[in-house]
Amino acid sequence: MSYTADKERSFESTKTSSKEIAMKILKKREGEIALGLFTVGLPGERMDTLESVS
């Protein structure tokens, strides 16, 4: 599935071959993004260049 969160496009496997289940997972993820409950990436995974040299 692919989605956009925080102006960044992301791709994630639903780990299923069923299109129906994949669509349910996508709708759940879109709801989490809309409510602000989901953030892309893990904490500490992303770092700006300026942050890494400070």
Coil/strand/helix, residue 53:
helix
Q: So what's the pLDDT on residue 44?
A: 52
Instruction: Report pLDDT digits (tens) over 1-54.
Output: 888 877 788 888 889 999 999 999 989 988 988 888 877 665 555 545 444 444
**For residue 48, what are its two tokens?**
């700006």
Q: So what's the pLDDT on residue 18?
A: 94
Q: So what's the pLDDT on residue 33?
A: 84
Handedness of CA 40, 46, 51, 54 (dihedral sign): positive
Q: So what's the pLDDT on residue 52?
A: 44
Q: So what's the pLDDT on residue 3?
A: 81
pTM: 0.60
**Rounded to an integer, what distance in angstroms lies between the CA atom of residue 52 and that of residue 47?**
7
